[in-house]
Amino acid sequence: MKALIIGAPGQLGQDLCAVYSDVDLYQADLKGAPITLDITDEGSVRDCIVDSLRPDLVINTAAAHNVPRCEETPDIAYAVNATGARNLARACNAAGARLVHISTDYVYGHGHHEPLTEAVPPAPLSSYGASKVAGEYLIAAECPEHLIVRTAAIYGTAPCLAKGGMNFVSLMLHLADKQGWVKVVTDEVTTPTYTEPLARQIRLAAEKGEPGLYHMTCQGACSWYDFTKTIFELTNTEVDLKQATTADFPSPVKRPTYSVLENAHLQVQGINIMPPWRDALEAYLKASGRV
């Protein structure tokens, strides 16, 4: 099998490269990895996928996902997350490749209190979320052999390039060490998801799953406060952990207060292998040498 991973240097991209290390693997990124690819350039995308590589599988992790920046420059968000996704879908359809595209829980808005299945319609609150929804629809329209993967709150052992190299876990530990206290919200609930099991789940779904929309997160749910509390418990970190609400951190960006995803499509097909979020966190802490 020949696979192309776009966004290979990222957190999820690096774990996907490890999972696909036994196949004929090609790595691409905007800055070269070693293939340089700008997904907003339709001609370059077609040249790479249709005229050159002709892969069996394309996994796209590339995105404009700095949420505040997407609000400031929605044109860039749509160029990458919508038009770029369409460009990949058209090229994959022409090359006969299956496309796996990574989306987000930010496609949802307020008013939810129970885990969200793939049947719940999106209602994004931000330019980022809206651009990702647009990308989903364009992929579904242009490439029948697609898997759209919505995930949430990812973290991994590879540096998060969009956030100065830190993910949420490493940031909390850094702040605890630097200032001795951390203040975290209790009124945003999600499912933090470790990229290593997510990468394995993506491969299983890409190989065994039918085309369509998939939710892929770790199991269970927690507030950011509860997640942080567990981080400190598992690492035996002494810190003054303070409760807060979103009102304590005013922001022009609207985020969903409850975005817990249920892996219903995976479960129906009997291919859901995602672990509970606490088990995944413990595995990550061990892998990164924190415990």
Nearest in space to 264 (alpha carbons), one of 142, 126, 121, 118: 118
In the block, which residue shows the tokens 């470790």?
A: 194
Cβ 44 vs Cβ 38: under 8 Å:
yes
Asked about 128 being catalytic, the answer comes back as yes
Pairing verdict, β 24-29 and 2-6: parallel
**Among 106, 128, 194, 258, which one carries the catalytic annotation?**
128
- Cα-only R_g, the chain: 18
Which residues are marked as active site? Answer: 128
